A and B are shown apart, each in its own frame.
Chain A
Amino acid sequence: MVMNTKRYIISALALLLINFHIKAGTTDTIYNASLFGIKSNGTTLNTTSIQKAVDYISEKGGGTLRFYVGRYLTGTIELKSNVTILLEEGAILLGSTNIYDYNIKEPIPGLVYAKGAENIAIRGKGVIDGQGREVAYNLVDQIHKGVIEDPMKYDRPDNKRPHCIYFRECKGVNIYGIIIKNSATWVQTYDQCENVVVDSITVISTAFWNNDGIDIVDCKNFKLLNSYIDAADDAICLKSHDKTKRNENVEIRNNVARSSANGIKFGTVSAGGYKNIRIINNKVYNTLRSALTIATPDGGIIEDIFVDSLYAYHTGNPIYLRIGARWNNERIGSMKNITIQNFYAEITEEKPDAGYEIEGPVEDNPRNISPSGIVGLKNMLIENMKLKNIEISYPGNGNPNYAYRGTSAKALSEIPEMETAYPEFSQFKELPAWGFFIKNARNISFENVKLIARNKDYRTAIVMDNVNGYSFKNLQIKEAGVKKKKQMIKNNSK
């Protein structure tokens, strides 16, 4: 009887909660943009009227600001709690090309910006177009005129380039259905946000340098689902900027990514780390660098990473895992419990991203096509790494006259540690393997792994150096034109 009463009370409470939720949903009032004098002509700068609309709706307890077909030119809009921006099909939120129309006094400006807001959303079949190339070059102009100061590292502005979306410390974020184009820097960043769902969006941004498709920074409970991302820089990127925070409980599922850098990347800035990240059923294509890079050069702790069903076509490199010591301030990053299963990759000899705007650089030459890399530090090994059901096809063709690295203990010891360098699959230039180069690791297991070289290569398939504990179960190596060849070199490994 007591049990029943308890159950009854719990059910009643649950019902009440559900009821409350539905109520909150139904009170959603829709306000059309024209109500606030917002013009869809593409030439009227709407910043203040859109901001007024957002503030008004938020003050009224929340609701949706709806944009119908048209071009809505605007500078920075700060999104407030309980406000949804609804971009109907044909509606384009068009970023101003004037750098002063953005909140450049903030450390990181954005076209759609939010800080500390709760329950915010951008939805619909419409577009956010940052006009990033024009914004960036107008900023360059202001820097050269001496109005804005900037170090112009690599001859491009370091600071003040606006993101299309920048949300910080927000809770309850939903981005659904929209198309985001042409950012001046990272396309969209969610920094220290909680309970975020980004679903069914399209990103096309090859407008300027550092066009990351999506940056998930120190977030908790984040889902990126069913999206298509074509970006000049890393397509899907997890970062950790704060050493006291980390990315936790992130699910990346059913996405397609194209990049002139990496398809899916952890880092580069990785101060705190990453825990419980699930990357399931994604595709990567025409991508210059690695399909998957997991890097911790800045002291971050990486653990419990599960990658399942990742398919990579026409990419420059399959997998690169790296512990470094760059901006770590004597904290040493770590990487353990990484599972990669059902992974398929086709690596090309020609430049995989040729023809895209802001094509990636030709660098770290001379070097033959690089292998996958699993590279820890001497004093911090990559631990517990499982590779299961893997098939990777490499071009082979490694020519020792173009670039050469031997496999003697001495030759291997001459491969630089490069722990302070920017972590990139090509950073060591020539490596002595065509398939996998594994160094400074512990407890590595390969199960059902098939490595193919489509042409003869002077290198061996797998080279291991300082690997403490490894197992190979059903490893298949096929190198064209080669019958008998030692395909595995082990140095200081057991």
Chain B
Amino acid sequence: MKGIRLSLFIAIFTITICQAQEYKASLFGCMSDGITNNTTSIQAAIDYIAEKGGGKLSFYVGRYLTGGLVLKSNVTIELHEGAILVASSNINDYILYENERALLFGNNLRNVSIIGKGVIEANPKQYFLTTNALKGKQQLQADYLALTPSLLTMINCSNVKVEGIIFQKSLQNAQKYISCNQIDLSNQIIRNNTIENSGSVVFQNTKSITLKNIFIDAKGQPIIKDQNSEIIMVENCINPKGKPVL
């Protein structure tokens, strides 16, 4: 009897997980006009979905301006074709965690996906104008350049999937994975990077990495990986000259 109850519970639990409910961004008041700063409403959406046991937050066509967001386990972000997450040009809008600054930030998470044909982009010109202005007013610490935000940084996360997304106009690194496990990156386009050493994908102490169908137009080295990182599969990852990036 106990066994049946347990398996029933597991079955229901699995069904709940599998039926990852979709929540549209507008449900949380997110605005696609490109000028409304949506940070708090998108964060509220992510937190709400995580509390409900997980699901998918869907963005449809439009520009969703946002500052730093903290990702949560079991929450998928889907950017449909034409949907753009636009990073704020204010350095203080980003997530700052130890020596990392990021637009999308994950720490100690399981099962995180960012999928779709949409875009994640910053605005380097505006960002550095704003940042230099702050620096001129002595409002920034000297190491602010070393802490230029990435578009996505994940620390100590496992089972992460980033599929189909276009990362463009990075301020520094497009994506950064530190002490992660099971990182699956596929069908990405990383381009329009204009700032020195921007657009790279960085792996530190990260295991079980698979890379498939990625076009990287990075200003620096496209893939930066330390000795402790382990890429288990690479397929069709090229730079603009058509050369394999690894």
Interface residues, chain A, with chain B CB atoms under 8 Å away: 133, 137, 140, 144, 152, 154-156, 207-209, 357-359, 361-363, 365-366, 399-402
Contact = CB atoms under 8 A, between A and B. Distances in A.
A156 B217 CA distance: 34
Contacts of A362: 82, 84, 119, 166
A278 B153 CA distance: 55
Given A361-B81, A366-B189, A154 B61 contact: yes
Interface string B190-211: 0100000000000000000000
Instruction: Classify the interface of chain A: helix, strand, loop or mixed.
Output: loop
A358 B63 CA distance: 7
A137 B81 contact: no
B84 A361 contact: yes
Given A154-B61, A358-B33, A358-B34, A402 B26 contact: no
B59 to A, nearest CB: 8
A399 B242 CA distance: 9
B26 A361 contact: no
Contacts of B34: 357-359
B35 interface: yes
Contacts of A152: 24, 26
Contact of B240 (A140, A144, A208, A399): A399
Given A361-B82, A362-B166, 17 more contacts: A137-B29, A152-B26, A155-B26, A208-B33, A357-B33, A357-B35, A358-B34, A358-B63, A361-B62, A361-B81, A361-B84, A362-B82, A362-B84, A401-B215, A401-B239, A401-B240, A401-B241
B228 to A, nearest CB: 31
A362 to B, nearest CB: 5
Interface string B215-246: 10100000000000000000000111110000
Contacts of B29: 137
Interface string B54-85: 00001111110000000000000000011110
Interface residues on B, range: 20 to 34
8 contacts: A155-B26, A209-B62, A357-B33, A359-B34, A361-B62, A365-B166, A365-B189, A401-B242
**What 3 pairs between A and B have smallest CB-CB spacing?**
A361-B82, A401-B242, A155-B60
B18 interface: no
A466 to B, nearest CB: 29
A361 to B, nearest CB: 3
Contacts of A137: 29, 31
Contacts of A366: 189, 215
A144 B35 contact: no
A400 B241 CA distance: 9
Interface in B7-39: 24-27, 29, 31-35
Nearest to B81: A363
Contacts of B238: 401
B151 to A, nearest CB: 15
A361 B24 contact: no
B212 interface: no
Q: Which of A133, A209, A359, A362 has the most CB of B within 10 A?
A: A362
B117 interface: yes
B81 A133 contact: no
